[in-house]
């Protein structure tokens, strides 16, 4: 005979949040669909934006104009055009998984009312974003490091493949393997990712909701919100990204402090902000596409799973 479901089971069946959350030791709930949705949304944008990213990388590294960066890539040929795509492809997928999944997990842990699908405070969203950015940096710095070495054409002869780069790093002692190898430039990456994620998650939903209230379709409002957010964060933190690129492109030698590295970078750019921001126009374009698509896809997947706040 079928009995009447208990109150707790009826609540669980009617609450979409409970269907996407697992429970970790200590009562922390793991929002599994946020991890999956984050991975899917970032994966789809990586292949589209990689050519733009590689052009920006050359500008950051050599302080050249867009035309010169494109000339270098054209000279190297199509066979090398997507050289270095595997690390960012894997890294961006993992980035989306960690960034969105960790953010929602931490957010729901800090703010119990999140299980009721209520709008969250700017403070909680930003703090959860900062923590997810810190975790993202620790997980993905080795991938970013390999990617930056692989895309530096000056390393083609000595370190032409991922395997050769890994062999180089693994030839160091245990301590130097992390400091000189995989985690070179870790401190500025932690700062950049933490601040950037805090700003993105803090303002993503308010901008989206404001646009929706003015009559924009949900998909378009999410795209515009992600584009504006990504553009603003990228421009604000662009000098830090240039610093990281130059620090991580180095192989071997002495590890300089962040301050010393920035002074050297500033001198190499002749003390001019315009040269430090060279490549910024493409950053705006790439960020608009990347974060616009990522946000729109993520919000669409999240809405379909019944987890949108």
Per residue in 210-269, pLDDT (tens digit) is: 999 998 898 999 999 999 999 999 989 999 999 998 899 888 877 788 899 899 999 988
pTM: 0.78
| Max CA pair span of the chain | 83
Integer Cα distance of 187 and 281 in angstroms: 26
Burial of 75-112, coded b for 16+ CB within 10 Å and e otherwise, reads eeeeeeeebbbebbbbbbbbbbbbbbbbbbbbbbbbbe
Report the share of the chain in percent with pLDDT over 90: 31
296's CB contacts (< 8 A; 6+ apart) are 219, 220, 222, 223, 226
pLDDT for position 28: 44
Residue 11 has pLDDT above 50, yes or no: no
DSSP state of 31: E
pLDDT for position 31: 66
Give the helix, strand, coil percentages of the chain, each rounded to 5. 75, 0, 20
SS3 assignment for 85-144: CHHHHHHHHHHHHHHHHHHHHHHHHHCHHHHHCCCCCHHHHHHHHHHHHHHHHHHHHHHH
Helix (H, G, I), strand (E, B) or coil at 23: strand
Question: What is the per-residue pLDDT across 22-45, written as a single tens digit (0 to 9) for each?
Answer: 554 444 445 688 888 899 899 888
Question: What is the per-residue pLDDT across 112-164, written as a single tens digit (0 to 9) for each?
Answer: 655 545 667 888 899 999 999 999 999 999 988 988 888 787 877 788 888 99
pLDDT for position 133: 95
Integer Cα distance of 96 and 109 in angstroms: 19
Question: What is the per-residue pLDDT across 48-99, written as a single tens digit (0 to 9) for each?
Answer: 778 777 887 777 677 778 888 888 888 877 767 777 777 778 878 888 999 9
Q: How confident is the model at residue 286 (pLDDT cuts 50, 70, 90)?
A: confident
């Amino acid at each position: 005979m079928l009995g009447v479901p208990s109150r707790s089971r009826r609540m669980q069946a009617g609450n979409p949040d409970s269907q996407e959350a697992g429970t970790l030791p200590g009562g922390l709930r793991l929002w599994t669909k946020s991890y999956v949705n984050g991975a899917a949304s970032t994966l789809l944008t990586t292949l589209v934006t990689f050519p733009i990213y590689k052009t920006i990388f050359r500008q950051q590294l050599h302080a050249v104009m867009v035309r010169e960066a494109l000339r270098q890539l054209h000279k190297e040929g199509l066979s090398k055009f997507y050289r270095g795509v595997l690390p960012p492809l894997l890294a961006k997928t993992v980035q989306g998984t960690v960034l969105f999944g960790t953010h929602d997990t931490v957010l729901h842990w800090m703010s119990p009312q999140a299980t009721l699908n209520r709008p969250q405070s700017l403070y909680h969203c930003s703090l959860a974003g900062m923590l997810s950015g810190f975790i993202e940096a620790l997980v993905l710095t080795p991938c970013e490091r390999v990617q930056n070495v692989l895309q530096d054409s000056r390393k083609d002869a000595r370190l032409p493949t991922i395997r050769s780069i890994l062999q180089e790093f693994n030839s160091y002692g245990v301590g130097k393997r992390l400091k000189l190898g995989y985690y070179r430039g870790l401190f500025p990456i932690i700062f950049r990712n933490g601040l950037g994620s805090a700003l993105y998650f803090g303002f993503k939903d308010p901008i989206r909701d404001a646009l929706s209230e003015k009559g924009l379709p949900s998909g378009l409002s999410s795209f515009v919100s992600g584009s504006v957010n990504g553009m603003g964060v990228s421009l604000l933190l662009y000098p830090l990204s240039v610093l990281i690129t130059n620090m991580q492109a180095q192989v071997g030698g002495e590890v300089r402090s962040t301050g010393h590295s920035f002074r050297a970078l500033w001198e190499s750019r002749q003390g001019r902000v315009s040269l430090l921001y060279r490549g910024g126009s493409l950053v705006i374009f790439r960020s608009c596409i990347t974060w616009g698509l990522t946000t729109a896809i993520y919000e669409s997947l999240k809405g379909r799973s019944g987890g949108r706040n």
